[in-house]
Structure 1
């Protein structure tokens, strides 16, 4: 029994760190966010709420600079201040920002945000636990294998989630009368905002699918639904 103690400790450590990360993330969002009050965006958000038969959809501004949208594990939707600033400066349209909100709603509705953390603390805990286990059987290369497996698994799961959230958003935007065009134009803009990083990293190591692949997936849905 004692020989399995390090493995059990590694598993417990991973679970504790995952829980701590969830608590820390929720607290950070509470402390650094305020509810969105933009009247133009609110009209589009209300359209999506109506399409979902919900009384309202609460969207918050997360006070950080990176351009991103987030879905918390408790179901809250966040747009970063950096992303909102792009909209305020006219670099992103209100419809395009609405498509981000629809995408994040997809993560919530499909259960993605409950399976993975907004930050990577949970992933790091898993990597540490796996490294401890593998190092007992494969000294010297156990840590490398753990890092590789964790990165590949996280990337693959994340890409699958992104495609599913894109499809959910496309359906919601269509039903709300906003349409799928803002999704596709935003994908192209985000490619530029990330400084061409998608063209450097191998697709199988990316947490998000490539821009052209996401656009093609949306166009397949349009053809399937008979949208011109």
Structure 2
């Protein structure tokens, strides 16, 4: 029983961490978001809703400055104020922002949002157990190795999700008549925006695939689907 204690504690920690993260995320989003009210984007949302055969797609503005889009575990879609401001300034087109919404819809439809939160909690639990075990076997370096292994695992899972959400978005954008062009040009713009931020980080540690690889995957899907 004593040997199992760290594992049982890790499982309990993962459960509590998941419940707290879900509650805290929902509370933060409720407090810092407003419904998107932009005629051009709303029309594109209607086009995508028709393609999905759903009544509507509700998108919210999350009042933070970093350029990002996100899908909440409860299925809501958010665009950050910073991203929306880029659109209003003309740096990002309406079609490119629609591709972000389509991508986040992919995360919801494929169950990534909820699973990511569960994965995050589980990975933290694994980190605790590994740090405890490896810390005894390899003093000083054990904790560092535990952090490295769990970071690699998280990055691999995240990159897989991104490719899947990209493919979902490509199919939806094509069916909605928007096309995949804005999806690819946005990746290139975001790549320039993030230039110099961790450029030397190995690809296997990045939570998102490299831009060239994402575009290549989209074009591979286009070739399979016969889309030009």
Give your verdict on TM over 0.5: yes
> Contact (CA 8 Å) 1:126, 1:150: kept in 2 or not?
yes
What TM-score do you get using the length of structure 1 for normalisation? Answer: 0.93
Which residue in 2 is equivalent to 1:224? Answer: 224
* 1:30 Cα deviation after fit: 0.6
User: 1:201 and 1:157, CA in 2 relative to 1: closer, same or farther beyond 3 A?
Assistant: same
User: 1:30 and 1:133, CA in 2 relative to 1: closer, same or farther beyond 3 A?
Assistant: farther
Q: Distance in 1 between matches of 2:24 and 2:195?
A: 30
User: 1:62 and 1:129, CA in 2 relative to 1: closer, same or farther beyond 3 A?
Assistant: farther
Which residue in 2 is equivalent to 1:12? Answer: 12
User: 1:226 and 1:91, CA in 2 relative to 1: closer, same or farther beyond 3 A?
Assistant: same
Which residue in 1 is equivalent to 2:41? Answer: 41
Q: How does 1:181-196 map to 2 (within 5 A)?
A: 181-196=181-196
Q: Distance in 1 between matches of 2:214 and 2:138?
A: 39
Which residue in 2 is equivalent to 1:142? Answer: 142
* 1:21 Cα deviation after fit: 1.1
Q: Which runs of 4+ in 1 moved over 6 A?
A: none
SS of aligned partner of 1:197: coil
Deviations 1:85-112 (A, max 9, x none): 0000000000000000000000010111
* 1:72 Cα deviation after fit: 0.7
Deviations 1:119-150 (A, max 9, x none): x6775454234423443555443312210111
> Contact (CA 8 Å) 2:134, 2:143: kept in 1 or not?
yes
Q: Distance in 2 between matches of 1:127 and 1:85?
A: 38
> Contact (CA 8 Å) 1:11, 1:129: kept in 2 or not?
no
Q: Distance in 1 between matches of 2:42 and 2:185?
A: 21
Deviations 1:145-180 (A, max 9, x none): 210111000000000000000000000000000000
User: 1:77 and 1:129, CA in 2 relative to 1: closer, same or farther beyond 3 A?
Assistant: farther
User: 1:147 and 1:74, CA in 2 relative to 1: closer, same or farther beyond 3 A?
Assistant: same
Which residue in 1 is equivalent to 2:65? Answer: 65
Unpaired segments ≥5 residues, structure 1: none
> Is 199-208 or 33-42 further displaced after alignment?
199-208
Q: Distance in 1 between matches of 2:117 and 2:147?
A: 18
Q: Distance in 1 between matches of 2:204 and 2:155?
A: 7
Q: Distance in 1 between matches of 2:144 and 2:175?
A: 47
Which residue in 1 is equivalent to 2:31? Answer: 31
Which residue in 1 is equivalent to 2:171? Answer: 171
Which residue in 1 is equivalent to 2:92? Answer: 92
User: 1:84 and 1:202, CA in 2 relative to 1: closer, same or farther beyond 3 A?
Assistant: same
Which residue in 1 is equivalent to 2:202? Answer: 202
> Contact (CA 8 Å) 1:10, 1:132: kept in 2 or not?
no
User: 1:18 and 1:125, CA in 2 relative to 1: closer, same or farther beyond 3 A?
Assistant: farther
